[in-house]
Amino acid sequence: MSLGENLKTARKERGFTQEQVAKEINVSRVNIAYYENGTKVPSVAVLTAIADVLECSIDGLLGRKTN
């Protein structure tokens, strides 16, 4: 799965809307939509903030398996 798909899945599993995640990390809802549909890639700082809000790992969002 792609970053966008993983982000969307993690967000929905935790019951967040795009707007809620956006407010938590101080970006627009449109940016969250762009990240989810693959139009844009978040910076490392934004990716870290998203992982913190969604209480998941960056590796998980990127689709990397941990050993």
Q: What is the pLDDT along the chain (67 residues), one digit of tens a residue?
A: 899 999 999 999 999 999 999 999 999 999 999 999 999 999 999 999 999 999 999 999 999 976 5
Kindly give, in sequence order, each residue whose CB lies less than 8 Å from that of residue 50, ignoring residues fewer than 6 positions away.
Answer: 7, 21, 25, 35, 42, 61
Tell me how far apart the alpha carbons of residues 6 and 26 are, in angstroms, rounded to a whole number: 20
The token pair at 18 is 């795009």
Neighbours of 2 (CB within 10 A): 13
